[in-house]
Structure 1
Amino acid sequence: MADRIDLDPQHLGTVERTHGGAHTTLRFERQLDATPEEVWRALTDPAELAVWFGCPVDVVPGERIAIHFADSSPQDSRIVTWEPPSLLAFEWDDHYPRSTDPDRSMSLVTFELERSGAGTRLVLVHSNGEPKEWKDNLGGWHGHLVALREHLAGRSVEFKPLFVATIGLYQAVTTDTWLGGLDA
């Protein structure tokens, strides 16, 4: 498993403070060996999502996505943008445990897909996130993107050990390395 976790610094996610430090924006960029249509299907087909996302996922195209994590309540999100096969954006609840407050702040997860050579350039942006969750969110998305790459290549991956490893990677990075003290 560890040999499949890409720790090349160019593949680490980036984080920046936004809105005067009240939120964070995370960003990943990947080159995938699959067409935009194949990547879109992996991002939006419940059967494919369950394989690489590590849990059951329900999708109502253009309306809702519900992610059923084993250790928390479902992440039930409104799809904001649905433009096959290039742009998918949905709300994300950064609150743990999940909040039922209808006025809670939601972050936004965006997948941008663009044909690049024989494959696809994927850009994932998680904006308006909760600052206290930035390391876990970076590690989680990094793990999901490794699992997506493996899925598209026809290889299986055990998500739980992968998730533990990628969360650990970002937890081990000193805060001074990221924005000169993001947690300060």
Structure 2
Amino acid sequence: MLDRVSIENNTRPGLAVPVLVSLRVNAKPERVWRSLIDPEELAAWFWPRKLQPAATLEAKTGGSYRISAASPPMAVSGEYLELTRPQRLIMTWQWDGDEHTSTVTIDLVPARDGTDLQVVHDGLPAEAVEAHRTGWSDCLRRLPAHLAGTDAA
């Protein structure tokens, strides 16, 4: 199984810079969806195990989520704005201690050999774009091993 992460940066004058990260995984959309909305599954792949991640969430429109790490201590949380199973998830995104809130849209599209997953993180300040592009890329690189049941820490 060879998965590919592609990254784009689309700048819009006068607006925050969106980050686009894409990945094709060898799993059906319903399986990928479960990895996004089940708190145990999300914690298993979203951040490296060495960070001791945990996730709590209420997977419904208006529900909240929180993904935290023990070492170093950090967390991101937000509200689910849309959940269309197993196609689209839209949520707000706010780091603990940060006043800025952005929006993340995750689309899952069936592909002949699995699922095309696309993350669009919009509303980021310019100085946060590179860190979020790197973060999403690193995060999504762990997903295929999780889906295959061969989690790499």
TM-score class normalised by the smaller sequence: 0.7 to 0.9
Tell me the TM-score normalised to structure 1 length. 0.71
Say whether the 8 Å CA contact 1:73–1:98 is kept in structure 2: no
Return 5+ residue gaps in structure 1 as ranges.
Answer: 1-5, 159-184
Q: Does residue 1:29 correspond to 2:30, yes or no?
A: no
Amino acid at match of 2:152: V
Task: Report the AA paired with residue 44 of structure 2.
Answer: V
Bigger helix fraction: 1
Distance, in Å, in 2 between the alignment partners of 1:35 and 1:107 is: 28
Residue pair 1:23, 1:131 contacting (<8 A) in 2 also: yes
SS of the equivalent of 1:134 reads helix
- For the pair shown, the structure with the greater C-alpha radius of gyration is 1
Within 1, Cα distance between the matches of 2:64 and 2:13? 27
1:16 Cα offset (Å): 2.4
Task: State how far apart, in whole Å, the 2-side matches of 1:98 and 1:17 are.
Answer: 26
Q: What TM-score do you get using the length of structure 2 for normalisation?
A: 0.84
* SS, match of residue 119 in structure 2: strand
Which of 54, 58, 61 is 1:60 aligned to? 58
Q: CA separation in 1, counterparts of 2:150 and 2:134?
A: 21
Is 1:39 the counterpart of 2:35? The answer is: no
User: What is the aligned counterpart of 2:107 among 108, 112, 116?
Assistant: 112
Partner of 2:50: none
Q: Deviating runs (4+, > 6 A) in structure 1?
A: none
Number of the residue aligned with 1:17:
11
Partner residue, 1:79: 80
CA distance in 1, matches of 2:90, 2:73: 22
Amino acid aligned to 1:47: E
State the identity as a percent. Answer: 27
Which residue of 2 is the match for residue 147 of structure 1? 142
1:34/1:119 contact within 8 Å kept: yes
SS of the aligned residue for 2:10 comes to strand
> Secondary structure at the residue paired with 1:147?
helix
Structural RMSD (CA) = 2.0
Residue 132 in structure 1 maps to residue 127 in structure 2: yes
C-alpha distance in 1 between matches for 2:138 and 2:18? 17
Q: Does structure 2 retain, via aligned residues, the 8 Å contact 1:18–1:128? A: no
Check whether the contact 2:6–2:23 (CA below 8 A) recurs between aligned residues. no
Q: C-alpha separation between the residues in 2 aligned to 1:149 and 1:56?
A: 19
